Chain A
Amino acid sequence: MRALLVGECRAGRLAEEISELSGFAVALGAEASMLLVGSLDDLPAFEGRLYFADSREYGEYNPEAHKRLVMEAVGRERPDAVVFLHSSYGWDLAPRVAAAMKAAQVSGVTGIDGGGYTVDSCNGKMKRTVSPLTPNVVLTLQSGAFSSPKLSGVPEVVRIDADPGSKVEFLGCTQPEEVVDLSRARVIVSAGRGVGKQEHVDLVRELAAAFGGEVGASRPVVDAGWLERSRQIGITGQSVAPELYVACGISGAIQHVAGMKGSGFILAVNTDQDAPIAEAADVFVVADLVQFLPALTARLKARHGGSF
């Protein structure tokens, strides 16, 4: 098995998670090469052939040109598998490469299962094994699913070129506006869509206050405008690791869990016992948060004579 691993840069820096690509290649027992559109000053410590193109020339986000570069490397390397991270770069580029190769694509791979790959289904409640029927396969890896060995090698850099043109013009990036830094909070109590309505966010606020902690949120709560965007936790928000994380009405989608699974102790409150958050939780309370949160808040307040 030969695998071409596609690395990536974000905002001018090599994405750390690309070591997971190597972890996957090891798990697969594959002979790996890598492709990177990036900078010669910031190369991965990858032991092997590194097909390289400069991002000053090809842009960081230019899927049309990057597709041509990947196809150039595919032509030289003839890999059985082309492997991306399931990131905003990977899920965008992978199907373009799969279409060009007429190869099966398996998205969000979490495991290897015989000749197939395990992926989540139904927002993480179920899973299934997808097997390619084509000689080659394109894969995107779910973040955190494979080990990330520390890379310590010297790449053999092979420069490649392709037409850099694109019909899509990249105008640049914007940073999130306000920043609430949740990384120092010892306790975070997060509201999910299960809070049901804006008024119930107060139940989450009150519990957070009783702990002397911060309020976090899942994405739908932020999208609904119930809490500030900067409180979003997950792959497109902040990554946090407080001593205690309380997930209230949060189903546990992998994109959310990726941002809080490093927490010391996880308490989940959910009416659905099958919700995937159960996998991350140390304690899973099967209850309606409208009843349970005030009950817990009252006990904390009683202990501390009102507040901390």
Chain B
Amino acid sequence: MFLVELGLLFLGLSLLGLLSRRLGLSPIPFILVAALALGEGGAVPLSTAAPFVESAAEIGVVLLLLTLGLEFSATELFASLRRHGPSGLVDLALNAPPGFIAGLIIGLPWPGAMALAGITWISSSGIVARLLSDLGRLANRETPAVLSVLVLEDIAMALFLPLLVVALAGGGPAQAVTGVALALGAVLLVLVSAHRHGHRLGRLLAHPDDEQVLLRLFGLTLLVAGLAQAVGASAAVGAFLVGIAVPASLADRARAILGPLRDLFAATFFVSFGLATDPSAVLPVLPVVLVLALVTTVTKIGTGWFAARRDGVATPGRLRAGTALVARGEFSIIIAGLAVAAGLGEVGPVATGYVLVLAVVGPVLARFVEPISSRLLAPRTRASPTPRSVC
């Protein structure tokens, strides 16, 4: 029965993927809804495949963070920090407090509120990057600002996750400071050494055979992630660091090789998260979720507006940047997963509801702001292009 259940599960995921692409949305909310139906208290509970899904989910998180690290080079991280550091701070200051306050209001202990702050803070790199490409906005002037905010959020995640892990484990401020100092040290060390000696790791991992690259990189990542977990940091951060350390020359190939594996395990991770959430618990928190979604939609638009304005982009572009950032997805679920694993089961339904709403609303908003803003805000007069003598 195990294989049959798993086979049906993946076939189901394939159909959901088709449906979501047809609608121009991310598959994440669809997977979550389906998993809610399969989990405890759901319509057709999954039985024999559940233990596998749980362990595969752990690998899913590791692979999500590894490929995230592979996306960015140290140069890009430093350039984003220099250019958009203030945007990153505005992002944190606008988007984390609503989650924290909402967490305290619904009676979560402060580590739970902190998890919720992370859930509302971090946009979904996956959804946003796909959206920019689908809408043909890669060449737009506001796009560097949007991508910089995403990069800064990703690097902030590497510091936030260890802090959260310490807080969830009930550690005091001293442990929290140590945890973050360690994480910060590790991130800086990896960034600097990747910059200087990245090609050595590249030589260690590189091989003409794809299978060798896959096994070496996957093995190394699981090893580092496991060690990071053993010393009380987060496995996800270990994986992220491995991703950053891989030199750009190998990163493109590594992404292509790991892509299908990542898709498979990441989907399983979303399923596992949905399975662990009781669908009947989502309904009572829906009012909180909707208010939180509304508030953090506005604050994210504010973030994008601020970042795009720093790049000298005009109003329609600022609105495009803001709405592009609204979508929350995989990272919110990863953060919620940590909280649920630490025994704060109440975070699960809130995060599920929240991601369900914003993973759908974000892309829809980003699509529809374009015709509206250009109609309302574009200048009436045509700018006549001035010929410029070059020399």
To the question of whether A and B form a pair in one complex, the answer is no
